[in-house]
């Protein structure tokens, strides 16, 4: 079986480096491209050296046409605006697209879903197997536990993370909302500063911390009278996300155009 040519968008970032290592170590994938914006200090450098492994022979570039021309599939953990433009280029080269970028607004998500009519796109806020199991059971618990159980979602990430709450925290909130058949946007509380009233029944609360080098902690608390039930996931190595992304690209690259998620990849739908 021939190797699948994989390109990585955001190749010099924290996740990009982990992805380079994961792809290089796979016996089914071949690193074919490494993309960064043209102002990145690592343009022209070997992607393996940047990822702290042996040279790969694949230099980091900024030219999207050159990058996508050599790819069968792409894994993207970059920034929202860049990802939208990258997917447009991927369509021109018929590349399957594994998208792990967070921080999209509703209009951008709608746009991405439209792009999936042309190429297969697997979009997930978090690609770790454990997180997606947590999402699955959060939804199931939300169907079982009524609004007498208050839901609070807490997350903590490293000091450099920009978006807040995290994409995974929002995905957990959407799982709660789906389980309870409500709209997250209408029931979410993302900050309590200045709110001087009791918590309203059915609200979904979010709290955020940033600091140190925390890769990603998420806790969903169902707080009832006299008891609390929690679903927690703590990542200690970015390899879990890279491993999930590789599993996703192996699953996705032969699929028809469509908008998929990690539940599809893991067979949880």
Contact 216, 102 (CB under 8 A): no
* Angle between helices 129-144 and 239-252 in degrees, nearest 10: 90
CA–CA gap between residue 262 and residue 190 (Å, rounded): 25
CA–CA gap between residue 46 and residue 127 (Å, rounded): 26
For 112, residues 6+ apart whose C-beta sits below 8 A from its C-beta are 84, 87, 99, 104, 121, 123, 259
| Catalytic residue IDs | 157, 161
CA–CA gap between residue 105 and residue 83 (Å, rounded): 12
Contact 35, 60 (CB under 8 A): yes
CA–CA gap between residue 63 and residue 60 (Å, rounded): 10
CA 48 to chain centre: 23
> What values do phi and psi take at 35, rounded to 5?
-115, 140
Contact 151, 142 (CB under 8 A): yes
């Amino acid at each position: 079986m021939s190797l699948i040519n994989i390109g990585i968008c955001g190749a010099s970032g924290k996740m990009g480096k982990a992805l380079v290592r994961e792809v290089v170590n796979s016996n089914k994938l071949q690193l074919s491209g490494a993309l960064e914006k043209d102002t990145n200090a690592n343009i022209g450098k070997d992607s393996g050296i940047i990822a702290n492994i042996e040279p790969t022979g694949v230099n980091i570039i900024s030219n999207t046409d050159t990058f996508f021309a050599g790819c069968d599939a792409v894994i993207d953990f970059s920034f929202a605006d860049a990802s939208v433009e990258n997917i447009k280029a991927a369509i021109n080269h018929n590349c399957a697209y594994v998208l792990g970028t967070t921080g999209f607004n509703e209009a951008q998500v709608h746009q991405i879903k439209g792009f999936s009519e042309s190429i297969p796109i697997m979009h997930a806020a978090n690609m770790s197997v454990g997180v997606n199991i947590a999402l699955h059971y959060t939804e199931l618990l939300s169907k079982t536990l009524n609004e007498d159980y208050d839901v609070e979602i807490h997350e903590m990430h490293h000091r450099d993370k920009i978006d807040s709450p995290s994409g995974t925290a929002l995905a957990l909130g959407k799982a709660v909302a789906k389980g309870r058949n409500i709209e997250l946007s209408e029931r979410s509380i993302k900050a309590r500063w200045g709110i001087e009233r009791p918590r309203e029944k059915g609200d979904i609360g979010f709290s955020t911390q940033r600091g140190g080098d925390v890769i990603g902690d998420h806790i969903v608390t169902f707080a009832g009278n006299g008891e609390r039930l929690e679903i927690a996931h703590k990542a200690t190595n970015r390899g879990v996300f890279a491993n999930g992304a590789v599993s996703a690209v192996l699953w996705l690259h032969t699929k028809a155009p469509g908008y998929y998620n990690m539940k599809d990849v893991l067979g949880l739908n």
